[in-house]
Amino acid sequence: MTTANSSIETLTLHKTPSNYLPFQGQEQGEKILDIARKSPFTFFTTVAILLLLLPGPFLITWLVTFFLPFPLIRTDADKIIFTLFISQYFIMLTTAFFINWLEYYFDFTLITDRRVLDVSYVNLFSRVQSEARLGDIKEIVIDMHGFWQNVVNYGTIQMFVSNSTTSIVINDTPKPDRVAKLISEQQRVALAQDHRSQNEISKLQCSVKRTG
Amino acid sequence: MILRVALLVYMLLLLLLSILMAFVFWHLRQFSLWNDKTKFSIFLYSMALLAILSVTGYFLITADWASTPSLLEGFIL
């Protein structure tokens, strides 16, 4: 038991989960061991696309001016229309970046010493929350495929829950083997605790029987 | 007239964006991860918007609103 606990402490040493406490629906005495998120690499890909879009209107204006026989912006009224268009474009781009960040940051999986709580932030107006007790998880599958997933070391963890058709999926999480190890280690601890408490209950029942 | 309509459409879009963002922030407060990092990101986003609006405002104030758009003259009107 001591070995398992110490290994979990080593695994979660780089995190400071206390910053996020308490979460809604947290049980009394329940401890957060880790917060698994998507790999920052997936977020950087979106950022790269948005950065590529940044010079878009200037590029289009330059191209149009290049092919037109006269300059595109001649009067101040043209300048006003152009300013409004560019401003709108940059506001949309900034908002898209912000929404993407929210989708990255609020899509997470909490691993506590009792359960796995998955919050999927699908988009601005929908999120899916699912949870499974550690004792109910019967199988953990790590899926890493493709060049980037193996190079950057991120992948998908799928947890199959007993007596349920659905499964909990942690998408594109960095170091999936570390997260899976943490869950299985903690599962072992939880099962050992359950076993011990069941023994205590049966002992208590025996003593009650003897007394009776 | 056309410029005023363009500005009105722009203001309307800003208003819609403000309503959307207000709803998003209200919705986010219900999450368990509403912390300093979230607040800081909202602050950064607001600053970025403010910078864009300031530059837009500067160009709009310094422009001559009495002139006619040559683009619309040539292509649409």
Tell me what pLDDT residue A31 has: 82
Instruction: Report the predicted TM-score, pTM, of the whole model to 2 decimal places.
Output: 0.75
Kindly state whether residues A200 and A181 are assigned to the same domain.
yes
User: Predicted confidence band at A9 (pLDDT cuts at 50, 70, 90)?
Assistant: very low
Q: Which of A77, A88, A124 sits opposite B69 (nearest CB)?
A: A77
Residues A72-125: pLDDT tens digits? 777 888 888 889 999 999 999 999 999 898 888 888 888 888 889 888 877 777
Strands (E), chain A: 32-37, 108-112, 115-123, 126-133, 137-143, 154-161, 167-174
> Which residues in chain B are contacts of A74 at CB distance < 8 A?
70-71
End-to-end CA distance of chain B: 13
ipTM computed for the complex:
0.85
> Which residues in chain A are contacts of B41 at CB distance < 8 A?
98, 101, 105
Q: Total structural domains in chain A?
A: 2
> Which residues in chain A are contacts of B17 at CB distance < 8 A?
91, 95
Cβ–Cβ contact A1 with B under 8 A:
no
Kindly state whether residues A122 and A193 are assigned to the same domain.
yes
pLDDT at A15 over 50: no
Domain boundary among A73, A102, A131: A102
Kindly state whether residues A187 and A146 are assigned to the same domain.
yes
Tell me what pLDDT residue A206 has: 56
Q: Which domain holds residue A57?
A: 44-102
Q: Which of B24, B31, B52 sits opposite A124 (nearest CB)?
A: B24
Kindly state whether residues A80 and A156 are assigned to the same domain.
no
What average pLDDT does range B29-52 have in this prediction? 82
Within a domain: residue A23?
Answer: no
Cross-chain residue pair A84–B64, CB shorter than 8 Å: no
pLDDT at B12 over 90: yes
Q: Tokens in use for B32? A: 């368990």
Tell me what pLDDT residue A11 has: 39
Kindly state whether residues A118 and A186 are assigned to the same domain.
yes
